[in-house]
Every structure is written in C-alpha cells, then in structure tokens.
Amino acid sequence: MLNQSAAMAEEAEVVKNKQVVLKNYATGFVKDSDFIIKTDSTMSLKVPESSSKGVLVKNFYLSCDPYLSFLLQKSDSSLEAQFSRFSLGSTINGFGVAKVVDSRHPKFEKGDLVWGITGWEEYSLIAEPDSLFKIEHTDVPLSHYTGLLGMPGLTAYGGLFEVCNPKKGEKVFVSAASGAVGQLVGQFAKLTGCHVVGSAGSREKVDLLKNKLGFDDAFNYKEEQGLDAALKRYFPEGIDIYFENVGGKMLDAVLLNMRMHGRIAVCGLISQYNLEKPEGLYNVASILFKRLRVEGFAVFDYLHLYPKFLDLVLPQIRAKKITYVEDIAEGLENGPAALVGLFSGRNVGKQVVLVARE
C-alpha cells in the first residue's frame, strides 16, 4: 500500500514550466514583440500513458538558428518538409540539449543527456524522440552539442567534405565566417591544408577569425567599397570553394571570382530571409562558363554520418586543435532577444540560450 501511494505521489508531481510562445507571425525581421514569455504553465514530471514512446526532458541549452525565421512566418516554406511551421499561441521549438527526466522509449533512460529538437521551455514532452541523439561524450562542454558537436558542426562537416570535397592547397572562402557553422568550416578546411579567408560584419569578428580561429585572412564586408574588388584582393587567383551562408550581393560577387570547376555549398542565405523581395543574381552565367557546381544541402542529408563526424572532431577538440566560440544568453526569458539579434549580427560566435545549469 505504501509503495502504491509513493508511486501515485510521484506520478502526481507537477512543476512550473516557463515557455516562449509565438504571439505574432513575423513580417520582415523577427522582433521581440512577436513572442511572449508564458509563466503560468505547468508540467507533470511523468510521461503520460497515452504517449507510448514519449520522453520527458529538462532543457539545459537552446540553439538560436537562422532557419527559425522561416518557421516564424505565416507564409509557406519549403522547410516544412522537415519542420512544422509554428502556430500562434504555441511554444516554439528548435535544437537543444536536455536531460531525460522520464521515458517510455526503450532507447532512453532517466538521467540520459540528449541533443535534438526540443521546446523553448523549461521542460518538454517529446512524443516521438527517434531524432534525439544520446550524448555519450561528456568530457566536453554540454553547450557544444548545440553547435560544434550538434547540428551546426554536422552541417559544416557535410557541406565542406561531402559537397565540396576540399583538397590540400585549395582556396576556400567562407561568408558569415564567425557564426555557428562558418567558424567550423574554416577550421576544418585548415586541417585539410587549404588556404582560408572569411568575411564577417565587424572588426571584432575579423580579429576573432584571424587571431583565435586560425583563418589565414578575413575582412569586414561592411567596410569594403565593393565586394568584387575585395574578393579579387584576397583571392587574386580565384576561389576553389565557397561555403555560402549569406546570399545576395556576396554570392553575386563570388560567382565572378570562382575558379574553373569550383564548388559552392549553399548552406544558408541569411541576408535574404527577412526581405519582402529577395535580391536577384546577375552573374549566374559564371556557373556555366566556369563549370561550377552549386549545391544546396541540409543537415538532414548527413545525419547518418554523425558517428564518422565525431571520430574526426572529438580527437581534434581534445588536442585543442579546434576552437569554438559561443555567445551565451542566460535565462529563457532572454531567448527571443538572442534570436532577434542573430539577424542583425549582434552575436559573436554560436548563439546559445542557457535555460538551466546541468
């Protein structure tokens, strides 16, 4: 009888659950006012019997990523093939790091650390957790699983090695190079023996690329009179590989400066995401005349390579041959501002939201 009472008490345990809720669909740039912080929600710390394979997690870190801007808009998006667009009044979600509080899934146990898609809230019930990755290596900061060892890291790996296939001595250009993905692309290319130049939007970020992240050179695109002239200065012999994160005028200038049989991995187009009318390209003839290969991709294309990715990256981290810069906003209530700042370049490094300490 006592055991039954204890079990009932455990099942009945309920906690407050702060949440970031979508108030308005974003029009143009995402704004703080598009969200509300809901403080009156609660969560039972047991997975309900109706969720046969559910996992309940306590969230530690949340990842601010550019793709979220699509899901915050009312208009349809091709991303909906992989993500569900957020509904008004609902909790938004994204990649994060969490600890399993309760589980009905055979793959996960209470106490497991995981990364994958979770809610922007203190606790999340994940009904179908098959896309979660169990964290096996805890000798690195857990926050790295929002970036270096998570979605951005695998994105950098897949885009550079699977799409572009870099070779020693090749010239590599990375835009948005101090961001979550760009900073890793540059370092992976350097480990391969490439010459790497990055662009960023402030002198502080340029200094970071050159003096901490090991890029051969870098420039502030906002200080350049013309992007074509800047690229000719940094790549007098042309560009073999361009890792595309921004789109627009930068991509148009890059097309003029690619070498024959160059490769362009299209990872993101952040300069275009919040424009009512995206900028056009004028130099597309370069794709034909220079026999360029331009390929878009998504991290989902390479999830099966995650173990191979860890085999490459973990030894480099432990040998301190890879550096990762994070910009951590503390408190779930500061999550919306951190996400908004992503689109104006306010962050330095990977933007992370700390929800709770491990």
Domain 151-300 fold: Rossmann fold (3.40.50)
Q: Which fold has domain 15-147+325-354?
A: Quinone Oxidoreductase; Chain A, domain 1 (3.90.180)
Q: Give the tokens for residue 79.
A: 């991303």
Determine the straight-line distance between the first and last CA of the chain, rounded to whole angstroms.
Answer: 35
pLDDT recorded at residue 191: 95
DSSP string, 67-127: THHHHTSSS--GGGGTSPPPPTTSBPEEEEEEEEEEE-STT--TT-EEEEEEESBSEEEES
pLDDT of residue 254: 97
Every domain of the chain and the residues it spans: 15-147+325-354, 151-300
DSSP string, 260-317: EEEEEEE---TTTTT-SSPPP-S-THHHHHTT-EEEE--GGGGGGGHHHHHHHHHHHH
Of the candidates 108, 2, 135, the one whose C-alpha atom is nearest the C-alpha of residue 47 is 108
3-state DSSP call for residue 200? strand
Distance of alpha carbon 220 from alpha carbon 202, whole angstroms: 6
Instruction: Please count the other Cβ atoms lying within 10 Å of the Cβ belonging to residue 197.
Output: 23
Q: Do domains 15-147+325-354 and 151-300 have the same CATH topology?
A: no
Written as tens digits, the pLDDT of the chain (358 aa) is: 445 545 544 555 899 999 999 999 888 788 999 999 999 999 999 999 888 889 999 999 999 998 888 888 876 555 555 667 889 999 999 999 999 999 999 999 999 999 999 999 999 999 988 889 999 998 889 999 999 999 999 999 999 999 999 999 999 999 999 989 999 999 999 999 999 999 999 999 999 999 999 999 999 999 999 999 999 999 999 999 999 999 889 999 999 999 999 999 999 887 777 777 888 889 999 999 999 999 999 998 999 999 999 999 999 999 999 999 999 999 999 999 999 998 888 888 899 999 999 8
| Residue 184: CA count within 13 A, CB half-sphere | 27
Q: How far is CA 172 from CA 54, 169, 275, in A?
A: 44, 9, 28
Q: Which pTM value belongs to this model?
A: 0.86
Give backbone dihedrals phi and psi of 320, rounded to 5 degrees, phi first: 60, 35
- Amino acid (1-letter code) at residue 96: G
Judge whether 104 and 51 are in contact, CB under 8 Å: yes
What is the structure's pLDDT at 289? Answer: 96
